[in-house]
Amino acid sequence: MRGERTLGSREELTRRFGPGEEPRVTRAPGRVNLIGEHTDYNGGYVLPFAIDRWTEVALWPRRDLLVKAYAQAFEEEFGFSLPLRDPTPSGGWADYLLGILLELAGRGELPHGFEVVIVGNVPLGAGLSSSASLEVALALGLSRLYGIELGDLDLVQLCQRAENTFVGTSCGIMDQYVSYFAREGTALLLDTRALRHRYVPLDLPGVAFLVIDSSVRRALSQSGYNDRRRECEEALHWLQRAFPDRGIATLSDVTEEDLEPLAREMPAHLWRRALHVVQENTRVLSTVAALERGDAEEVGRLVSASHASLRDLYEVSTPELDFLVEWGLAHGALGARLVGGGFGGVTLHLVPEGEADAYVAALRQAYRRKFGREARALEVRPGPGAKELNP
């Protein structure tokens, strides 16, 4: 194949299903959210960047209505026939494919089946948005295969709806948005309410971005993530009743000054959730300012403050995640925090570049001694968004 080197999806397609025409190959990255956690579904600000790890799909059409799909990571094949007739989610990887197809079927005809393989190097279930990268890669490839015209934002929103309505995770739009729109070397400041973004140079000389995987896995649709979203909705309804003339539409419409006098009136857990969202929005904008002036120490301080808020106010951390962050801050990290929905997954560490190898080795040893688990480490760099790799 000419053009950019793939992750082997084309070769895997041929191995699984035999020779065929030149396949359509699409790729979408995972992401790390530098700061701005649990603000995306509350109308707030987020500051993610795409990582140099991807999900890649290769697909070609069939002459009948059969669909055959293979996921390399699970060594599983899945098949069905079009048109889809009220499919039921199974809780597995195929739900993402079915969810995207259901959304596309509402936009245009699906007159034939296809064969598709899915390969990738985004760690699964680790909080690096492997699900959004799969959704975006599938939506990009399948919309092109069927000639269904989608605008950029249409495609992103289609992927979010597929995860919300079929997969069953009440995620915000951040993950799909950055997977599609990201640019190399930058973070993406996204106003999730207005759906506007701008790029912020992610250039901190001498700083390495390390992702440390706790090896604690969680399925967001079955975890406390959906509980937290419901709690935010309850907090919003409470605040709307408290300020009936304010036109409050999201938790991001209130301020700390609004919340302070309500500390004894609101249910305590709802007040804490709202306070986290308000303060996290401020931290995102402060981080943008620190990045623009190249202040790595301030970026690290804000990142660490985000973790403390996620632990104490939003209550989505775990002992393993707290240990990784606290150990890091005690051993030279400029900043560290949990990344993603919480309840497991990964932490992000900002570490002096020349010390990264020794830092990782010592942290892994300390984590193994404390929990009897392995903590995998991955250095990530800000990469580009989704693309089609065909020549």
Whether residue 221 is predicted with pLDDT greater than 80 in this model: the reply is no
The answer to whether residue 2 is domain-embedded is: no
pLDDT at residue number 341: 85
pLDDT at 211 over 90: yes
- The verdict on residue 246 lying in a domain is yes
Residue 114 and residue 87 in one domain = yes
Q: Does residue 1 have a pLDDT over 60?
A: no
Answer yes or no: do 194 and 215 share one domain. Answer: no
Determine the pLDDT at residue 2.
Answer: 36
* pLDDT in the model for residue 222: 53
Asked if residue 226 has pLDDT above 90, the reply is no
Is the pLDDT at 200 greater than 90, yes or no?
yes
Q: Has residue 148 been placed in a domain?
A: yes
Whole-model pTM over 0.75: yes
What pLDDT score was predicted for residue 265?
A: 94
Q: Which domain holds residue 83?
A: 9-202+384-388
Q: Residue 163 sits in a domain of what CATH number?
A: 3.30.230.10
CB 191, CB 281: distance < 8 Å:
no
Both 51 and 142 in one domain: the answer is: yes
Within 8 A by CB and 6+ apart from 114, the residues are 59, 60, 61, 62, 67, 68, 142, 145
Q: Using the predicted structure, report yes or no on whether residue 108 has a pLDDT greater than 50.
A: yes
Handedness of CA 105, 150, 73, 229 (dihedral sign): negative
The total number of structural domains in the chain stands at 2
Question: Is residue 320 one of the residues assigned to a domain?
Answer: yes
Residue 315 lies in a domain: yes
Shared-domain flag, residues 30 and 126 = yes
| Domain match, 62 and 84 both | yes
Does 252 score more than 50 pLDDT?
Answer: yes
> pLDDT tens-digit profile of 365-385?
999 999 999 999 999 999 999
What mean pLDDT is predicted for residues 283-292?
98
Instruction: Indicate if 42 and 107 belong to the same structural domain.
Output: yes
- Does residue 1 lie within any of the structural domains? no
Does pLDDT of 217 surpass 90?
Answer: no
pLDDT tens digits, residue range 310-357? 999 999 999 999 999 999 999 999 999 999 888 888 999 999 999 999
Q: What does the pLDDT look like over 38-63, one tens digit per residue?
A: 999 999 999 999 999 999 999 999 99
Tens-place pLDDT, residues 153-191:
999 999 999 999 999 887 889 999 999 999 999 999 999
Any idea which residue has 């120490």 for tokens? 297
Do 223 and 173 have their domain in common? no
Extended strands (E) in the chain? 24-35, 45-61, 66-71, 76-81, 114-120, 186-191, 196-201, 207-213, 335-339, 346-352, 376-380, 387-388
Residues 226 and 350 in one domain: yes
Residue 169 shares a structural domain with residue 211: no
Residue 270 sits in the same domain as residue 136: no
Same domain, 58 and 169: yes
**From residue 106, how far is each of 86, 136, 389 by CA, in Å?**
13, 17, 26
> Which domain CATH number covers 285?
3.30.70.890
- Asked if the bond preceding 83 is cis, omega within 30° of 0, the reply is yes
Q: How much is the average pLDDT of 274-292?
A: 98
- Tell me the β-bridge partners of 38: none
Mean pLDDT of the chain, nearest integer: 94
Q: Flag the least confident range among 164-173, 177-186, 214-223, 256-265.
A: 214-223
CA angle 368, 369, 370 (to 5 degrees): 90
Strand 45-61 vs strand 114-120: parallel, antiparallel, or unpaired?
antiparallel
Helices (H), 255-333: 256-259, 268-292, 296-312, 319-330
pLDDT of residue 218 exceeding 80: no
Catalytic residues: 175
Is 3 inside any structural domain? no
Mean pLDDT of the region 86-91: 93
- Structure tokens that stand for 319 in this block: 């002992």
Residues 172 and 133 in one domain: yes
In whole angstroms, what is the distance from residue 244 CA to residue 299 CA?
A: 37
In a domain, 4, yes or no: no
